[in-house]
Amino acid sequence: MPRKLLGPVAGLAVWFIIVGVVGQIMRASWPEYARVADDMTFTLRMQIARLSIGAVATLAAGLATAWISPQSMIARLTPGLLLLVGFIPVHISLWDKLPIWYHLTFLLSLVPLTYLGGTIAGNGGRRSLVNAGHPI
């Protein structure tokens, strides 16, 4: 599979793995969160936690994509764009469950944070592994 396609696929996989695993950890370790998660009646603290997890996952998606597709700016932006397109209908359906600032923060951060994650990765991580004698 060409790197330009594999990078975004890996980035999306990383995003969903992080969000899924951390979401399960939150439900298991935070009883108040588990009680309200299905109804999505989150407190401010819970909303911030969810947005923080999303931000970390989005940065990681950009980093993973750039690590695999370091030369392609389009590949680096693709996970954020796909997440944005996929989550717009989800957030429209949840519009009355969460405040507008929550929806806008999540949706408007997807592409920039993916780009930032890809920029953080740059080519430095790949070069340092190659220079250390580790095959990629």
| Boundaries of every domain in the chain | 3-121
Q: Residue 102 carries which side chain, given as an amino acid letter? A: Y
Q: What is the DSSP letter of 94?
A: T
pLDDT at 1: 61
Task: Give the global pTM.
Answer: 0.86
Rg of the chain taking only CA atoms, in angstroms: 16
C-alpha 119/C-alpha 26 separation (Å) is: 29
CA dihedral 98, 27, 65, 5 (to 10 degrees): -90
pLDDT at 124: 53
* Tokens, residue 122: 């740059």
Phi, psi of 2 (to 5 degrees): -60, 145
Burial (CB < 10 A; 0-12, 13-18, 19+), residue 64, is buried
* Per-block mean pLDDT, blocks of 10 residues, the chain (136 long): 86 98 98 97 98 98 93 89 98 97 98 94 52 44
pLDDT tens per residue, range 7-28: 999 999 999 999 999 999 999 9
C-alpha 121/C-alpha 128 separation (Å) is: 11
